Structures are given as C-alpha cells and as structure tokens.
Amino acid sequence: MPKGVPTVRHMNTPTFDFDALFHNSAHPGLQALARQGQLRHYRKNTLLVQQGDMGQAIYLVLSGRLREFAMSNDSKPREITLAVVGAGQLLGATALDGGPQCASLLTLTPVSCAVVSREAALSVIRHNPALAMDMLQLALQRLRLATETTCLALFSDAYSRLSALLQRQQAQRESLAAPGIPPMTHAQMAQHIGCSREMVSRILKELVTGGYVVREPDKVYRVCKRLPMRW
C-alpha cells in the first residue's frame, strides 16, 4: 500500500441523477447495475481496493477520477499506473469470479460510486443481456489499455513510454469526451510509465528545449510538433 494513503472511508450520499449521467452514455445498460448498488462518496487519496484482496463488490464510477495501479512484491516495491479512469467506468470487475483483485484503486479526487455486491451484480447480469454486453465491452477496453501499458513498460525505453503518454493525453484533452483532464506532475508521469521522476524531468526538459513540447500556464505539457522516434 502506498505510504500515507488512508483506507476506505465512505458515507452514503442521499441522491444522484442517474438519468443525467446515462442519458448520452455509450453503455446505457449500466444504469440498471448502478441502481442495484449503494451510493457512496469517497475522499481524495482513499484506497478503495487493495491488490490481492478477495473481491466482494464492483464499483461504477459516477463522478471523480481514480488511479488503477499494480505493485511489485520485491524488497523495493515499484508501482506502475495501469489507467486513470472517471465517470461511467466500471472497476473491480474481477470480483465477479470470486478471485483476488489484480490491481489497486486510489481516488485522485473526491469520488462518488455505486458499489454493487458480487451477488447483486451477478443476479442483474443474468436477467439483462444488454448489461452483460456493456460490461464485456468495458472489460475489453480496459484489457486492451492494460495490455498496451504493460507492453510499453516491458518492451520500450523510458522516452518511448513518455512520448506515448504525452500524445495520448493530448488526444484525450482534444476529445469532447474528456476536455478537462488535469495536468500530471513529473512523479505521476513516472508512475504511469514505470521509471524515475528524475528521468521524466530530464526528458521533458530536453523536449521543451528542442521545441517539441511547451508547458502551458495551466502546467499542461502540449506537443507542438511531431516527436522524434528516438531520443
């Protein structure tokens, strides 16, 4: 567990506008799942799921952002961020098979979730084929992202991983679906790509000096011309 991270603390919230959240959703079947859960609010920097714990519930994110990450089990634990997710995403789905969670979940902002027990989720899925398809699509999207992240970490150098992260973030910010993604610190970038903060700082400094990247007043790094294939 990361140092200084509180364990789960939550409080029930009285209402949530499910209709507004799922009105234009690509996965409307998730609304039926959300209504089976307990509506909970979590503070920033709360550890919702611990890697290795047996899954008892799944989390449908209604608002806020979370980091999904994995840690090594050696004497000097290392972290790698698998994804940063927001509203409309389904987390902890590995609980459905009764096995251990393969990643941890940490809130980056205050977060609201519909928390659905394993038994309730399985019951509603059996009677709702549209929901089953929505969950399968989301699971495949998450699997694809985790696979890409792992391949980058194993088979490419730090510059290639950082280059891919910068370009992916820029594409997300330019998308209507995710216009308000906040900037990452150098330490957060390092967690994403599995290297040291010092390495990230050095590469970014050289990219800025070379005119490939600019740092905007809001601290976002923007790619302003095609990044080199190699550094």
pLDDT in tens, 52-111: 988 889 999 988 999 998 888 777 777 888 888 888 888 888 888 888 888 899 999 999
Going by pLDDT thresholds of 50, 70 and 90, the confidence category of residue 22 is: low
Write out the residue limits of the CATH 2.60.120.10 domain(s) in the chain: 10-155
**Pairwise CA distance, residues 193 & 101, whole Å:** 21
Average pLDDT value over all residues in the chain? 81
Bridge partners, residue 54, by sequence: 100
Q: Domain 10-155 is of which CATH architecture?
A: Sandwich (2.60)
Residue 13: is its pLDDT beyond 50?
no
Separation of alpha carbons 25 and 31, rounded Å? 9
- Specify the domain boundaries for CATH 1.10.10.10 within the chain: 158-223
The token pair that represents 209 in the structure block: 């000096």
Q: Is the pTM of this model over 0.75?
A: no
Q: What is the CATH number of domain 158-223?
A: 1.10.10.10
